[in-house]
Amino acid sequence: MKRFCLTIFTLLLFSPLLHAQQPAKTDIGLAIGTTLFFGDLGGANYIGRPLFFDLERSLIKPVGMITYHYQKSKKIGIRFQAAYTGVAGDDKLIQPKALFAPEWFRYYRNLNFQSKIWEVSAQIEYYFTKYEPGSMQYRVGTYAFVGGGIMHMNPKANYNGALVPLQPLHTEGQGFPGSTIKPYSLFQPVIPIGVGIRYNVSTDFSIGFEYGDRKTFTDYMDDVSTSYVSQSEFDSYFSNDPISASMAYTLSQRSNEIDPEGLYANVTAPGQQRGDPTDKDHYIYVGFSFNYILGQRHISKKEQMKCMKWGGDTGASVGKKKKK
Protein backbone atom coordinates (compact mmCIF):
# COMPACT_ATOMS: atom_id res chain seq x y z
CA MET A 1 0.00 0.00 0.00
CA LYS A 2 2.80 2.41 0.91
CA ARG A 3 4.62 1.73 -2.34
CA PHE A 4 1.39 2.19 -4.25
CA CYS A 5 0.70 5.57 -2.63
CA LEU A 6 4.27 6.75 -3.07
CA THR A 7 3.95 5.93 -6.75
CA ILE A 8 0.68 7.88 -6.95
CA PHE A 9 2.26 10.94 -5.33
CA THR A 10 5.21 10.71 -7.67
CA LEU A 11 2.85 10.69 -10.65
CA LEU A 12 0.97 13.68 -9.27
CA LEU A 13 4.05 15.75 -8.50
CA PHE A 14 6.12 14.89 -11.52
CA SER A 15 3.45 14.12 -14.15
CA PRO A 16 4.75 16.75 -16.64
CA LEU A 17 8.18 15.12 -16.63
CA LEU A 18 6.75 11.63 -16.81
CA HIS A 19 4.62 12.61 -19.80
CA ALA A 20 7.69 13.98 -21.49
CA GLN A 21 9.63 10.76 -20.91
CA GLN A 22 6.79 8.35 -21.64
CA PRO A 23 4.38 10.25 -23.90
CA ALA A 24 1.15 8.98 -25.32
CA LYS A 25 2.07 8.14 -28.89
CA THR A 26 -1.25 8.40 -30.71
CA ASP A 27 -4.19 10.72 -31.15
CA ILE A 28 -7.40 10.87 -33.13
CA GLY A 29 -8.75 14.09 -34.50
CA LEU A 30 -11.26 16.08 -36.47
CA ALA A 31 -10.27 18.85 -38.86
CA ILE A 32 -12.35 21.53 -40.54
CA GLY A 33 -11.32 24.09 -43.11
CA THR A 34 -11.64 25.15 -46.71
CA THR A 35 -10.79 23.66 -50.10
CA LEU A 36 -9.31 25.70 -52.93
CA PHE A 37 -9.43 24.29 -56.48
CA PHE A 38 -7.08 25.17 -59.32
CA GLY A 39 -7.96 23.87 -62.77
CA ASP A 40 -9.09 24.99 -66.21
CA LEU A 41 -12.41 26.11 -64.72
CA GLY A 42 -12.86 28.20 -61.62
CA GLY A 43 -10.13 30.82 -61.89
CA ALA A 44 -10.41 34.54 -61.26
CA ASN A 45 -10.22 37.26 -63.92
CA TYR A 46 -7.18 37.43 -66.20
CA ILE A 47 -5.42 34.23 -67.21
CA GLY A 48 -2.45 32.15 -66.24
CA ARG A 49 -1.84 33.65 -62.81
CA PRO A 50 -0.33 31.34 -60.14
CA LEU A 51 -2.09 29.84 -57.11
CA PHE A 52 -4.08 32.31 -54.97
CA PHE A 53 -3.90 35.02 -57.65
CA ASP A 54 -6.01 32.77 -59.89
CA LEU A 55 -8.59 31.90 -57.22
CA GLU A 56 -12.32 32.58 -57.50
CA ARG A 57 -13.16 33.16 -53.82
CA SER A 58 -16.89 32.52 -54.21
CA LEU A 59 -16.13 28.89 -55.11
CA ILE A 60 -14.17 28.08 -51.94
CA LYS A 61 -15.73 24.95 -50.37
CA PRO A 62 -15.70 23.53 -46.82
CA VAL A 63 -13.78 20.36 -45.97
CA GLY A 64 -14.07 17.89 -43.09
CA MET A 65 -11.43 15.33 -42.11
CA ILE A 66 -10.89 12.57 -39.57
CA THR A 67 -7.33 11.56 -38.67
CA TYR A 68 -5.36 8.94 -36.80
CA HIS A 69 -1.87 10.13 -35.86
CA TYR A 70 1.05 8.13 -34.46
CA GLN A 71 4.17 9.91 -33.20
CA LYS A 72 7.00 7.47 -33.86
CA SER A 73 9.65 9.76 -32.35
CA LYS A 74 10.11 13.41 -31.46
CA LYS A 75 10.95 14.07 -35.12
CA ILE A 76 8.78 11.63 -37.09
CA GLY A 77 5.00 11.21 -37.17
CA ILE A 78 2.72 9.02 -39.28
CA ARG A 79 -0.85 9.93 -40.10
CA PHE A 80 -3.84 8.26 -41.75
CA GLN A 81 -6.57 10.58 -42.96
CA ALA A 82 -9.99 10.57 -44.64
CA ALA A 83 -11.48 13.75 -46.10
CA TYR A 84 -14.73 14.85 -47.72
CA THR A 85 -15.08 18.09 -49.65
CA GLY A 86 -16.17 19.63 -52.94
CA VAL A 87 -14.70 21.60 -55.82
CA ALA A 88 -16.34 23.77 -58.48
CA GLY A 89 -15.73 26.15 -61.36
CA ASP A 90 -17.90 28.42 -63.49
CA ASP A 91 -16.85 30.57 -66.46
CA LYS A 92 -19.89 32.81 -65.95
CA LEU A 93 -18.20 34.32 -62.88
CA ILE A 94 -15.45 35.85 -65.01
CA GLN A 95 -15.87 39.53 -65.80
CA PRO A 96 -13.89 40.34 -68.96
CA LYS A 97 -12.63 43.89 -69.29
CA ALA A 98 -12.92 43.96 -73.07
CA LEU A 99 -13.75 41.88 -76.12
CA PHE A 100 -10.92 39.45 -76.86
CA ALA A 101 -9.14 40.28 -73.59
CA PRO A 102 -7.30 37.20 -72.23
CA GLU A 103 -10.09 36.41 -69.75
CA TRP A 104 -12.81 36.94 -72.40
CA PHE A 105 -12.03 33.60 -74.05
CA ARG A 106 -12.72 31.78 -70.78
CA TYR A 107 -15.90 33.77 -70.30
CA TYR A 108 -17.03 32.94 -73.85
CA ARG A 109 -16.31 29.23 -73.25
CA ASN A 110 -19.17 29.35 -70.69
CA LEU A 111 -18.57 25.96 -69.05
CA ASN A 112 -19.24 24.99 -65.43
CA PHE A 113 -18.76 21.99 -63.16
CA GLN A 114 -18.98 20.83 -59.58
CA SER A 115 -17.79 17.66 -57.91
CA LYS A 116 -17.75 15.98 -54.52
CA ILE A 117 -14.35 14.66 -53.46
CA TRP A 118 -13.71 11.65 -51.21
CA GLU A 119 -10.09 11.15 -50.26
CA VAL A 120 -8.07 8.71 -48.14
CA SER A 121 -4.32 9.06 -47.62
CA ALA A 122 -1.30 8.15 -45.50
CA GLN A 123 1.34 10.75 -44.71
CA ILE A 124 4.69 10.98 -42.98
CA GLU A 125 5.52 14.09 -40.96
CA TYR A 126 8.99 15.47 -40.28
CA TYR A 127 9.18 17.83 -37.29
CA PHE A 128 11.58 20.75 -37.29
CA THR A 129 11.12 21.05 -33.52
CA LYS A 130 10.86 18.17 -31.04
CA TYR A 131 7.26 17.22 -30.42
CA GLU A 132 5.42 14.63 -28.31
CA PRO A 133 1.63 14.30 -28.03
CA GLY A 134 0.55 15.05 -24.47
CA SER A 135 3.92 16.45 -23.41
CA MET A 136 4.15 19.81 -21.68
CA GLN A 137 7.88 19.93 -22.39
CA TYR A 138 7.71 19.21 -26.13
CA ARG A 139 4.28 20.74 -26.67
CA VAL A 140 4.83 22.67 -29.93
CA GLY A 141 5.73 20.97 -33.19
CA THR A 142 6.21 22.53 -36.62
CA TYR A 143 6.41 20.03 -39.46
CA ALA A 144 6.37 19.29 -43.16
CA PHE A 145 4.61 16.26 -44.60
CA VAL A 146 4.35 14.18 -47.75
CA GLY A 147 2.36 11.06 -48.54
CA GLY A 148 0.17 9.18 -50.96
CA GLY A 149 -3.52 8.55 -51.35
CA ILE A 150 -6.48 8.11 -53.63
CA MET A 151 -9.47 10.33 -54.28
CA HIS A 152 -12.82 9.87 -55.99
CA MET A 153 -14.29 12.64 -58.12
CA ASN A 154 -17.38 12.92 -60.30
CA PRO A 155 -17.58 16.18 -62.30
CA LYS A 156 -21.10 17.31 -63.12
CA ALA A 157 -22.47 20.27 -65.05
CA ASN A 158 -25.45 22.36 -64.08
CA TYR A 159 -27.83 22.26 -67.04
CA ASN A 160 -31.40 23.59 -66.84
CA GLY A 161 -31.38 23.19 -63.06
CA ALA A 162 -30.15 19.59 -63.09
CA LEU A 163 -26.68 18.17 -62.44
CA VAL A 164 -25.49 16.01 -65.34
CA PRO A 165 -22.47 13.67 -64.91
CA LEU A 166 -19.87 14.58 -67.52
CA GLN A 167 -17.48 11.63 -67.58
CA PRO A 168 -19.91 9.24 -69.38
CA LEU A 169 -20.45 11.86 -72.11
CA HIS A 170 -16.80 11.91 -73.32
CA THR A 171 -17.06 15.68 -73.87
CA GLU A 172 -13.59 15.92 -75.46
CA GLY A 173 -13.85 12.72 -77.49
CA GLN A 174 -12.04 10.55 -74.96
CA GLY A 175 -11.90 7.02 -76.35
CA PHE A 176 -13.36 7.95 -79.74
CA PRO A 177 -12.02 6.01 -82.76
CA GLY A 178 -8.79 7.64 -83.87
CA SER A 179 -8.48 9.73 -80.71
CA THR A 180 -5.27 9.60 -78.68
CA ILE A 181 -7.11 10.71 -75.53
CA LYS A 182 -8.19 7.91 -73.21
CA PRO A 183 -11.30 8.02 -70.99
CA TYR A 184 -10.41 9.17 -67.50
CA SER A 185 -11.14 7.31 -64.28
CA LEU A 186 -13.18 8.77 -61.44
CA PHE A 187 -10.60 7.33 -59.02
CA GLN A 188 -7.27 9.17 -59.09
CA PRO A 189 -4.01 8.97 -57.11
CA VAL A 190 -2.94 12.05 -55.16
CA ILE A 191 0.25 13.15 -53.41
CA PRO A 192 -0.43 15.22 -50.28
CA ILE A 193 2.35 17.69 -49.44
CA GLY A 194 2.39 20.64 -47.08
CA VAL A 195 3.31 22.15 -43.72
CA GLY A 196 1.64 22.53 -40.33
CA ILE A 197 1.94 23.16 -36.62
CA ARG A 198 0.68 21.25 -33.57
CA TYR A 199 0.23 22.53 -30.02
CA ASN A 200 -0.61 20.50 -26.90
CA VAL A 201 -3.29 22.45 -25.05
CA SER A 202 -3.14 19.87 -22.24
CA THR A 203 -1.98 16.31 -21.74
CA ASP A 204 -5.24 15.17 -23.35
CA PHE A 205 -5.87 17.60 -26.19
CA SER A 206 -3.94 19.27 -28.99
CA ILE A 207 -4.86 21.69 -31.74
CA GLY A 208 -3.22 22.29 -35.10
CA PHE A 209 -3.18 24.34 -38.25
CA GLU A 210 -2.21 22.96 -41.65
CA TYR A 211 -1.74 23.93 -45.28
CA GLY A 212 -1.76 20.97 -47.63
CA ASP A 213 -1.58 20.77 -51.42
CA ARG A 214 -2.86 17.73 -53.33
CA LYS A 215 -0.87 17.01 -56.46
CA THR A 216 -2.93 15.00 -58.95
CA PHE A 217 -2.11 13.21 -62.19
CA THR A 218 -5.26 14.19 -64.05
CA ASP A 219 -6.44 17.28 -65.89
CA TYR A 220 -10.06 16.15 -65.82
CA MET A 221 -11.25 17.06 -62.33
CA ASP A 222 -13.30 19.75 -64.11
CA ASP A 223 -13.80 17.68 -67.32
CA VAL A 224 -11.81 20.26 -69.31
CA SER A 225 -8.36 19.63 -70.77
CA THR A 226 -7.80 19.60 -74.55
CA SER A 227 -9.95 20.70 -77.52
CA TYR A 228 -13.50 20.84 -78.87
CA VAL A 229 -15.12 17.94 -80.74
CA SER A 230 -17.59 18.17 -83.64
CA GLN A 231 -21.22 17.20 -83.32
CA SER A 232 -20.79 14.54 -86.03
CA GLU A 233 -18.18 12.76 -83.89
CA PHE A 234 -20.61 12.58 -80.98
CA ASP A 235 -23.38 11.34 -83.29
CA SER A 236 -21.07 8.62 -84.59
CA TYR A 237 -19.84 7.48 -81.17
CA PHE A 238 -23.33 7.47 -79.63
CA SER A 239 -25.00 6.16 -82.80
CA ASN A 240 -27.33 3.93 -80.77
CA ASP A 241 -28.10 6.64 -78.20
CA PRO A 242 -29.06 9.93 -79.90
CA ILE A 243 -30.12 11.50 -76.58
CA SER A 244 -26.63 11.04 -75.13
CA ALA A 245 -25.08 12.29 -78.38
CA SER A 246 -27.13 15.49 -78.22
CA MET A 247 -26.43 16.01 -74.51
CA ALA A 248 -22.70 15.38 -74.94
CA TYR A 249 -22.37 17.97 -77.69
CA THR A 250 -24.56 20.49 -75.85
CA LEU A 251 -22.48 20.29 -72.66
CA SER A 252 -19.15 20.22 -74.47
CA GLN A 253 -19.72 23.55 -76.21
CA ARG A 254 -21.94 26.12 -74.50
CA SER A 255 -20.79 29.43 -75.97
CA ASN A 256 -24.03 29.57 -78.00
CA GLU A 257 -25.83 30.39 -74.72
CA ILE A 258 -23.89 33.67 -74.67
CA ASP A 259 -23.64 34.16 -78.43
CA PRO A 260 -26.82 32.65 -79.98
CA GLU A 261 -26.10 34.30 -83.34
CA GLY A 262 -22.67 32.66 -83.51
CA LEU A 263 -20.73 35.87 -84.15
CA TYR A 264 -17.60 34.38 -82.59
CA ALA A 265 -18.38 30.69 -83.05
CA ASN A 266 -14.94 30.10 -84.56
CA VAL A 267 -13.48 30.47 -81.03
CA THR A 268 -15.16 27.23 -79.90
CA ALA A 269 -15.13 25.40 -83.26
CA PRO A 270 -14.00 21.73 -83.42
CA GLY A 271 -10.27 21.45 -82.87
CA GLN A 272 -9.98 24.79 -81.04
CA GLN A 273 -8.45 24.94 -77.56
CA ARG A 274 -10.85 24.06 -74.76
CA GLY A 275 -8.35 23.64 -71.91
CA ASP A 276 -4.65 23.37 -71.11
CA PRO A 277 -3.43 19.73 -70.87
CA THR A 278 0.08 20.80 -69.81
CA ASP A 279 -1.08 21.93 -66.36
CA LYS A 280 -2.67 19.24 -64.17
CA ASP A 281 -5.52 20.09 -61.80
CA HIS A 282 -4.85 20.27 -58.06
CA TYR A 283 -6.56 21.34 -54.87
CA ILE A 284 -5.51 22.69 -51.48
CA TYR A 285 -6.74 22.17 -47.93
CA VAL A 286 -6.33 24.88 -45.29
CA GLY A 287 -7.75 24.20 -41.85
CA PHE A 288 -7.63 23.61 -38.10
CA SER A 289 -7.51 20.28 -36.29
CA PHE A 290 -8.75 19.26 -32.84
CA ASN A 291 -7.15 16.09 -31.48
CA TYR A 292 -7.72 13.79 -28.50
CA ILE A 293 -4.57 12.11 -27.24
CA LEU A 294 -4.93 8.39 -26.53
CA GLY A 295 -3.25 6.27 -23.88
CA GLN A 296 -2.95 8.88 -21.15
CA ARG A 297 -2.93 7.50 -17.59
CA HIS A 298 -5.00 9.40 -15.04
CA ILE A 299 -5.26 8.95 -11.27
CA SER A 300 -8.78 8.84 -9.91
CA LYS A 301 -9.86 11.21 -7.18
CA LYS A 302 -10.58 8.23 -4.93
CA GLU A 303 -7.01 7.02 -5.23
CA GLN A 304 -5.70 10.53 -4.59
CA MET A 305 -7.84 10.85 -1.43
CA LYS A 306 -6.63 7.49 -0.15
CA CYS A 307 -3.03 8.57 -0.48
CA MET A 308 -3.69 11.97 1.10
CA LYS A 309 -5.39 10.25 4.05
CA TRP A 310 -2.55 7.80 4.43
CA GLY A 311 -0.03 10.61 4.40
CA GLY A 312 -2.00 12.62 7.04
CA ASP A 313 -2.43 9.67 9.42
CA THR A 314 1.13 8.50 9.41
CA GLY A 315 3.15 11.59 8.76
CA ALA A 316 3.40 12.52 12.50
CA SER A 317 4.27 9.01 13.62
CA VAL A 318 7.09 8.34 11.27
CA GLY A 319 10.17 7.46 13.26
CA LYS A 320 8.25 7.31 16.60
CA LYS A 321 7.26 4.36 18.75
CA LYS A 322 3.64 3.94 19.77
CA LYS A 323 2.88 4.32 23.48
CA LYS A 324 1.34 1.41 25.26
78 and 2 within one domain: no
Structural domain including 211 reads: 25-295
117 and 167 within one domain: yes
How do the residues of the chain divide into helix, strand and coil, expressed in percent and rounded to 5?
25, 35, 40
The torsion of the CA quartet 212, 215, 218, 219, rounded to 10 degrees, works out to: 70
Cβ atoms within 10 Å of 224's Cβ, excluding its own: 26
10 and 34 within one domain: no
57 and 2 within one domain: no
What pLDDT sits at residue 88? 95
pLDDT tens for the chain, 324 residues: list them. Answer: 444 344 433 433 333 433 444 444 899 999 999 999 999 986 655 555 555 555 667 789 999 999 999 999 999 999 999 999 999 999 999 888 899 988 899 999 999 999 999 999 999 999 999 999 999 999 999 999 999 999 999 999 999 999 999 999 999 999 999 999 999 999 999 999 999 999 999 999 999 999 999 999 999 999 999 999 999 999 999 999 999 999 999 999 999 999 999 999 999 999 999 999 998 999 999 999 999 999 776 655 565 555 555 554 433 444 444 444
242 and 143 within one domain: yes
101 and 229 within one domain: yes
- The domain tally of the chain equals 2
158 and 29 within one domain: yes
Residue 324 domain-assigned? no
Long-range contacts of 235-242 (CB under 8 A, 24+ apart): 236/176, 236/177, 237/170, 237/173, 237/176, 237/177
Burial of 13 (0-12, 13-18, 19+ CB in 10 A): exposed
261 and 202 within one domain: yes
264 and 124 within one domain: yes
Can you give the pTM of this predicted structure? 0.81
Residue 323 domain-assigned? no
* Alpha carbon distance 142, 195 (integer Å): 8
127 and 12 within one domain: no
189 and 106 within one domain: yes
152 and 13 within one domain: no
CATH number of the domain at 191, please.
2.40.160.20
For helices 301-314 and 2-21, angle between their N-to-C axes, nearest 10 degrees: 130
142: CB partners within 8 A, 6+ apart: 127, 128, 129, 195, 196, 197
